[in-house]
């Protein structure tokens, strides 16, 4: 059995166990395989094991991989920092953009999504620990931005994404995740399409799932260290 196969099975098992322990339906947490800094060959290998959704953080690297893997039906998610001069390529090439944190980006993605494609799935990134360096929307501005996202053509608001401050205690993590879960409940009534809460990475999968995550984004635990 390959190392990747072993870690993929082990990870799916871990997600399932955490989901069941939280008393949630076994299929309600999706795995996003974070393939940044991993070669296309490994993405192909994982796809052949059944993984369809992949996350990338760097646009040029992602586009190169997409071109190499254009024979596969991969669902591509952008999870990296966004720059407004890159939105045209994002809107044309990705299925999901998870790191949207401003009105300007929403409008550009909406206008630039090619008409022949289905709407671009959008998650609004929430800055939950109020870190001045980190990107993300301040919770107080979220509802207004969500309402606007719902009105725009070419995009479909699906929910929220968050990256908590690293190195926190489990109790602090739980508090942060609970705040995001509450924001999710606040915006859910705005649209029936809002169903995705993207939170949890290699280091905090169980806490995130216990707090209501519907999508965990996992890189190093799956592929091994990126050597960054
Ligand atoms: C890199 C990255 C991940 C995956 O992190 P791991 O710790 O390797 O699982 C998840 N989300 C975002 C936004 C990332 O940039």
pLDDT in tens, 22-61: 999 989 999 999 999 999 999 999 999 999 999 999 999 9
Crossing angle, helix 3-21 and helix 40-48, to 10 degrees? 60
pLDDT of residue 129: 82
Report CA(116)–ligand 1 centroid distance (Å): 31
Run of H or E including 4: helix 3-21
Pocket of ligand 1 from Cβ distances under 6 Å: 34, 36, 57, 79, 163, 201-203, 217-221
Q: For residues 77 and 62, give the distance between their C-alpha atoms in angstroms, rounded to a whole number.
A: 10
pLDDT of residue 66: 98
Q: Whose CA is nearest to atom 13 of ligand 1?
A: 79
Q: Whose CA is nearest to atom 6 of ligand 1?
A: 219
pLDDT at 223 over 90: yes
Q: For residues 215 and 158, give the distance between their C-alpha atoms in angstroms, rounded to a whole number.
A: 12
Q: Which of 62, 98, 215, 217 to mutate to test the pocket of ligand 1 (most atoms within 8 A of CB)?
A: 217
Q: Whose CA is nearest to atom 5 of ligand 1?
A: 219
pLDDT of residue 130: 73
Ligand 1 atom with minimal separation from the 201 CA: 9
Report CA(161)–ligand 1 centroid distance (Å): 12
pLDDT at 133 over 90: no
Crossing angle, helix 103-112 and helix 139-151, to 10 degrees? 20
Q: For residues 46 and 73, give the distance between their C-alpha atoms in angstroms, rounded to a whole number.
A: 13
The tokens describing 135, both together, are 């990107």
Helix (H, G, I), strand (E, B) or coil at 12: helix
Report CA(217)–ligand 1 centroid distance (Å): 6
Q: For residues 34 and 120, give the distance between their C-alpha atoms in angstroms, rounded to a whole number.
A: 19
Could you read off the pLDDT of 93-106 as tens digits, one per residue?
999 999 999 999 99
Report CA(219)–ligand 1 centroid distance (Å): 6
Could you read off the pLDDT of 146-191 as tens digits, one per residue?
999 999 999 999 999 999 888 888 899 999 999 999 999 999 999 9
Q: Which of 14, 30, 31, 34 to mutate to test the pocket of ligand 1 (most atoms within 8 A of CB)?
A: 34
Q: For residues 146 and 149, give the distance between their C-alpha atoms in angstroms, rounded to a whole number.
A: 5
Kindly provide the b/e burial profile for residues 139-152, where b requires at least 16 CB atoms within 10 angstroms of the residue's own CB: beebeebbeebbeb
Could you read off the pLDDT of 67-87 as tens digits, one per residue?
999 999 999 999 999 999 999
Nearest to 218 by CA among 193, 188, 198: 198
Report CA(56)–ligand 1 centroid distance (Å): 9
pLDDT at 215 over 70: yes
Report CA(75)–ligand 1 centroid distance (Å): 17
Report CA(5)–ligand 1 centroid distance (Å): 20
DSSP secondary structure letter of residue 133: T
Average pLDDT of every residue of the chain: 95
Ligand 1 atom with minimal separation from the 57 CA: 15
Q: For residues 210 and 193, give the distance between their C-alpha atoms in angstroms, rounded to a whole number.
A: 22
pLDDT of residue 228: 53
């Amino acid at each position: 059995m390959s190392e990747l196969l072993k870690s993929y099975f082990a990870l799916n098992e871990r997600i399932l166990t955490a989901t069941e322990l939280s008393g949630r339906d076994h299929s309600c947490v999706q795995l996003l395989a974070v393939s940044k800094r991993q070669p296309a060959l490994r993405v192909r290998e994982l796809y052949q094991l059944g993984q369809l959704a992949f996350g990338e953080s760097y646009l040029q690297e992602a586009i190169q991989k997409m071109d190499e893997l254009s024979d596969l039906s991969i669902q591509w998610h952008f999870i990296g920092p966004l720059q407004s001069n890159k939105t045209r390529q994002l809107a044309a090439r990705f299925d999901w953009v998870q790191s949207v944190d401003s009105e300007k980006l929403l409008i550009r993605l909406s206008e630039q999504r090619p008409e022949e494609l289905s709407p671009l799935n959008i998650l609004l990134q929430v800055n939950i620990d109020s870190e001045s360096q980190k990107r993300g929307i301040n919770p107080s501005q979220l509802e207004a931005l969500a309402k606007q996202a719902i009105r725009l053509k070419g995009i479909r608001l699906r929910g929220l994404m968050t990256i908590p401050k690293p190195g926190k205690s489990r109790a602090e993590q739980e508090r942060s995740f609970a705040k995001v879960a509450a924001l999710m409940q606040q915006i859910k009534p705005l649209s029936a399409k809002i169903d995705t809460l993207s939170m949890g990475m290699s280091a905090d999968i169980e806490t995130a799932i216990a707090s209501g995550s519907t999508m965990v984004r996992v890189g190093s635990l799956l592929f091994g260290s990126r050597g960054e």
